[in-house]
């Protein structure tokens, strides 16, 4: 079924058919029985940012407060429901996030993080200090009946038994358990199909203007190849991804959001350096890239390349992608994110693939076999659209009938259902969950919240 001709009226027009807009359409039409829902996108659904993701999920989020953990728990509950009812069409697993370190000084931080996460509602902390401890590994497939919270293993022999592919000097791991990955595209298509069955219409075109005569939403002008059309509507949801700020300005509203470019690398691990059943592996130590003596001399002599000899920040991570017989491994490392204006198509650092592969050979030394002859690395990515404290925006805008769901940063797939469920409650005038205030735009008007922002610690970004 292709896009439909532009209807003249709608109960709600949603701008953007990325995962945010699609999930809002689903939660309004399927779960709240709303009719007259129209999705407008100038591109094919899910094709701008939502298909560039690493597709991972976690309930592992820092404070202050428990809003992020509560929202993500709700979102993962919904993802699990959708996986069950669909026969797991989007292949959700529960392999966990495995944070690893070779630095004994970091072990107390692992223990504290597990305790803090437990206090925020992520699930209990289990510490394994001996080789005979009853640590339960994650299954390769499925998500049912798995532990929540985190296992911290501080006995290197136990680390080696379960994760023999990690660097031999790894001293501890933290395995966060209500985490894993799924196919974002399959999830998005499933939500879109269910929404269309309940009457949601997908219109191809660009939202060019929003009529707010008299201070409230009255209509939306949609430009398409064959001309412009007006949809009369009392409600408008801005779910425009990296253009959420631009679309808000059509309403005369400035949103406190910015974009950062983020890329991932995919390559064929023909040597099987990363086991197919591995969890998401995250190295929590800074890394110096491995180079030959000759390469080191060359980089040292070149001002443009000297940074390659410097210490890179902690956080290089990766995971196997696809079924057991797939050779694909995904790697990602954010070492140079800067705020920028979103522009397409994106260009990436030509060295990114090599840098990430070299970095990931620190936690997984078998990857070093590729360094003398690099495999073909496919690099793609998109923008993280962020607020200052990396918490998204879901709620009404200061124009009656206008709403936003944006700023979903690097977690929009995992948050999609919790965030859309929350926004749908706002739109449908239903009672709101207790975490709603943490995601409203008005939070920035609160002096106490602004003071909190100035002292904000970890934003939870990997
Ligand atoms: C490299 C990378 C890795 C990531 N990894 C993860 C991960 O592991 N887990 C996770 O949960 N998330 C991850 N993310 C984040 C996730 O992909 C995003 O948060 C999410 O896709 C944002 O969805 P969205 O619907 O807000 O935006 P988009 O997918 O960008 O959708 C916005 C849509 O709005 C449309 N639009 C904009 N303006 C207009 C207009 N005026 N008229 C009509 N249409 C308009 C666009 O065409 C687009 O289709 C990652 C992102 C990147 C880049």
DSSP letter at 9 equals: B
The proportion of the chain whose per-residue pLDDT surpasses 70, expressed as a percent, equals 99
The pLDDT of residue 226 is above 90: no
Helices (H), 2-101: 19-29, 67-85
Identify the pLDDT of residue 387. Answer: 98
The pLDDT of residue 71 is above 70: yes
User: Of the ranges 3-17, 123-137, 177-191, which one carries the lowest mean pLDDT score?
Assistant: 3-17
CA–centroid distance, 17 to ligand 1, in Å, is 9
Identify the pLDDT of residue 416. Answer: 98
Identify the pLDDT of residue 48. Answer: 98
Among the atoms of ligand 1, which is closest to the Cα of residue 205? 43
Q: What is the pTM of this model?
A: 0.97
Contact 422, 436 (CB under 8 A): yes
| Nearest CA among 169, 173, 172, 167 for reference residue 361 | 167
Identify the pLDDT of residue 5. Answer: 78
Is residue 122 very low, low, confident or very high in pLDDT (cuts 50, 70, 90)? very high
Is residue 336 very low, low, confident or very high in pLDDT (cuts 50, 70, 90)? confident
Pocket probe mutation, ligand 1, options 408, 416, 419, max atoms within 8 Å of Cβ: 408
| Nearest CA among 340, 342, 341, 321 for reference residue 330 | 321
* Residue with tokens 């890179």, as numbered in its chain: 312
At the topology level, CATH places domain 12-55+184-257+387-454 in FAD/NAD(P)-binding domain (3.50.50)
Distance CA 29, CA 37 (A): 7
Pocket probe mutation, ligand 1, options 40, 403, 412, max atoms within 8 Å of Cβ: 412
| Upper half-sphere CA count for residue 380 (Cβ side, 13 Å) | 13
* Residue with tokens 């949801």, as numbered in its chain: 237
The pLDDT of residue 114 is above 60: yes
Identify the pLDDT of residue 3. Answer: 55
Mean of the per-residue pLDDT values of the chain:
97
Identify the pLDDT of residue 79. Answer: 98
Is residue 382 very low, low, confident or very high in pLDDT (cuts 50, 70, 90)? very high
End-to-end CA distance of the chain: 38
For residue 19 and ligand 1, the question of a CB distance below 6 A is answered with yes
For residue 149 and ligand 1, the question of a CB distance below 6 A is answered with no
Strands 12-15 and 378-386: unpaired
The pLDDT of residue 1 is above 70: no
Mean pLDDT, rounded, for 192-198? 98
The pLDDT of residue 4 is above 70: no
Segment 344-358, tens digit of pLDDT: 999 999 999 999 999
Q: What share of the chain is helix, strand, coil (3-state, %, to 5)?
A: 30, 25, 45
Strands 125-128 and 150-153: parallel
For residue 441 and ligand 1, the question of a CB distance below 6 A is answered with no
| Nearest CA among 402, 363, 379, 152 for reference residue 255 | 402
User: Of the ranges 149-153, 197-201, 226-230, 279-283, which one carries the lowest mean pLDDT score?
Assistant: 226-230
For residue 318 and ligand 1, the question of a CB distance below 6 A is answered with no
Pocket probe mutation, ligand 1, options 240, 265, 345, max atoms within 8 Å of Cβ: 240
- C-alpha distances out from residue 392 to 27, 327, 386, 439, Å: 18, 34, 7, 6
CA–centroid distance, 224 to ligand 1, in Å, is 21
Strands 179-181 and 56-58: antiparallel
Segment 137-161, tens digit of pLDDT: 999 999 999 999 999 999 999 999 9
Contact 287, 316 (CB under 8 A): yes
Angle at 93 between CA 101 and CA 323, to 5 degrees: 95
Is residue 6 very low, low, confident or very high in pLDDT (cuts 50, 70, 90)? confident
Distance CA 73, CA 436 (A): 14
Helices (H), 121-166: 156-162
Strands 328-332 and 37-41: unpaired
380 DSSP β-pair partners: 264
Residues 86, 88, 89, 92, Cα dihedral to 10°: 140
Contact 107, 172 (CB under 8 A): yes
Is residue 165 very low, low, confident or very high in pLDDT (cuts 50, 70, 90)? very high
Identify the pLDDT of residue 179. Answer: 98
Identify the pLDDT of residue 225. Answer: 85
Mean pLDDT, rounded, for 296-303? 97
Strands 12-15 and 37-41: parallel
Domain ranges of the chain: 12-55+184-257+387-454, 97-180+259-384
The CATH code of the domain at 97-180+259-384 is 3.30.9.10
For residue 21 and ligand 1, the question of a CB distance below 6 A is answered with yes
CA–centroid distance, 413 to ligand 1, in Å, is 8
């Amino acid at each position: 079924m292709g896009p439909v001709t532009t209807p003249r009226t709608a109960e709600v027009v949603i701008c953007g058919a990325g995962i945010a807009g699609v999930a809002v359409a689903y939660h309004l039409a399927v779960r709240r029985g709303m009719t007259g829902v129209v999705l407008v996108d100038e591109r094919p659904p899910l094709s701008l940012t939502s298909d560039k993701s690493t597709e991972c999920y976690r309930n592992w989020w820092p404070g202050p407060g428990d809003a992020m953990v509560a929202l993500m728990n709700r979102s993962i509950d919904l993802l699990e429901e959708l996986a069950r009812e669909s026969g797991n069409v989007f292949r959700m697993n529960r392999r966990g996030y495995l944070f690893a370190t070779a630095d004994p000084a970091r072990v107390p931080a692992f223990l504290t993080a597990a305790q803090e996460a437990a206090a925020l509602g992520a699930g209990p902390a289990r510490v394994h200090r001996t080789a005979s401890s009853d640590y339960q590994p994650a299954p390769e497939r499925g998500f049912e009946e798995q532990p929540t919270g985190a296992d911290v293993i501080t006995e290197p022999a136990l680390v080696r038994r379960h994760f023999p592919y990690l660097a031999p000097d790894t001293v501890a791991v933290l395995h966060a358990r209500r985490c894993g990955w799924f196919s974002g595209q399959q999830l998005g298509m499933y939500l879109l199909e269910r929404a269309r069955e309940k009457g949601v219409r997908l219109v191809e075109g660009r939202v060019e203007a929003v009529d707010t005569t008299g201070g409230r939403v009255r209509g939306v002008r949609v430009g398409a190849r064959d001309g412009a059309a007006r949809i009369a509507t009392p409600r408008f949801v801005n779910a425009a991804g990296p253009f959420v700020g631009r679309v808000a300005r059509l309403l005369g509203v400035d949103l406190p959001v910015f974009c950062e470019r983020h890329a991932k690398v995919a390559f064929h691990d023909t040597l099987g350096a990363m086991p197919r059943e591995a969890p998401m592996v995250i190295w929590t130590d800074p890394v110096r890239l491995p180079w030959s003596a000759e390469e080191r001399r060359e980089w040292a002599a070149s001002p443009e390349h000297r940074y390659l000899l410097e210490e890179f920040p902690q956080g290089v991570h990766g995971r196997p992608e696809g079924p057991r017989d797939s050779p694909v491994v995904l790697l990602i490392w954010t070492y140079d994110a800067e705020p920028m204006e979103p522009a397409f198509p994106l260009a990436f650092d030509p060295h990114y693939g090599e840098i990430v592969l070299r970095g990931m050979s620190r936690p997984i030394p078998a990857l070093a076999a590729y360094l003398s002859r690099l495999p073909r690395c496919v690099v793609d990515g998109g923008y993280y659209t962020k607020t200052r404290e990396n918490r998204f925006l879901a709620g009404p805008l200061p124009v009656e009938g206008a709403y936003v769901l944006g700023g979903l940063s690097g977690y929009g797939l995992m948050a999609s259902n919790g965030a859309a469920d929350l926004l749908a409650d706002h739109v449908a005038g239903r009672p709101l969950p207790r975490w709603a205030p943490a995601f409203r735009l008005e939070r920035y008007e609160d002096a106490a919240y602004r003071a909190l922002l100035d002292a904000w610690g970890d934003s939870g970004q990997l």
